[in-house]
Structure 1
């Protein structure tokens, strides 16, 4: 058992550091996007912009979620099978069954990975809508904000449970995070 513990701990830690690196790029992109909008419309006007929850969701999806989705999907379906963070830590995404369609598996993996994030955006749009109306948000808004956190917790817990090899979304998508050359 002592022989597998360092490898297991290293894989879990590598996945966490890879995620931090990847989300560092995402945060950098979000900051650049914020700066661009501020320069185009004026930073003083940003807090005054009002959109319906549907319009706000569409703007958030097209300007943030879709580019992030494309980053993960295109990088992980490429020949390198890894995002910049995963490559830096010597990881890649592989199909559990070699005969499975890699692009389809990566598509499912990426959608499931980002779904809680997108649901949370939807909740934030509705929360902002009710706050601006000075009305108490209905309970469903809080549910929409809390459920993604619970799902993200289970994603993380499942990754720990499997010793870093797969999360819940990996299991559903038929994917696994491995070191290159590792037999799946």
Structure 2
């Protein structure tokens, strides 16, 4: 069902619980896992090209991982939530959508910003893991601080919808967005 953003008003729609958002994300993870499985299969054919990119140094591994994994997932969420359905496949399956705090479509620009905030802990964890797995010049205490930061951000994002009336995550608050039920 397409949502006409000029007719949707925030006050008519019910806030979405954290549990529903998590279930929607798990549905989206089915798509992500399918994509990762496809990458895994394709990696057997591209192995000679990929091994040097992932083993040369942590920066090369991070950039390659970002381009192959994070960027496509980021674009999936951004384009889906900023497009005509205002939702990813998982959100549509759960009957929820992403909108601006005043009930209007967020558009692609704000959706890109929201998704960047949403996936920042995910990408920071990838960055940190590459610096654990491959030798780097970063001291151990910095790697530990980054890991603590990742867990802290995830915890805050999971806890924040329970702390405000609009059930917004920190990234929703910063981006000026909310997640609501369609009806």
TM, length-normalised to structure 2: 0.80
Return the structure number with greater relative CO, CA threshold 8 A, min gap 6.
2
Find 1:91's aligned residue among 70, 75, 96: 96
TM, length-normalised to structure 1: 0.80
Find 1:12's aligned residue among 18, 25, 41: 18
Please report how far the alpha carbon of residue 136 of structure 1 lies from its aligned counterpart in structure 2 after TM superposition. Answer: 10
Instruction: Check 1:83–1:28 CA distance in 2 against 1; reply closer, same or farther (3 A cut).
Output: same
Q: Deviations over 1:7-49 (max 9, x none)?
A: 87x733221110111122212211221221124328xx96xx6
Distance across 2 between alignment mates of 1:69 and 1:29: 13
Any unmatched runs of 5+ in structure 1?
Answer: 1-6
The within-5 A match list for 1:15-164 is 15-41=21-47, 50-98=55-103, 102-130=107-135, 138-162=140-164
Distance across 1 between alignment mates of 2:62 and 2:123: 9
Distance across 2 between alignment mates of 1:105 and 1:165: 19
Any unmatched runs of 5+ in structure 2?
Answer: 1-13
4+ residue segments displaced more than 6 Å: none
Aligned residue for 1:177, secondary structure, equals strand
Aligned residue for 1:165, secondary structure, equals coil
- Between stretches 116-125 and 164-173, larger displacement belongs to 164-173
RMSD value over aligned CA atoms?
A: 2.7
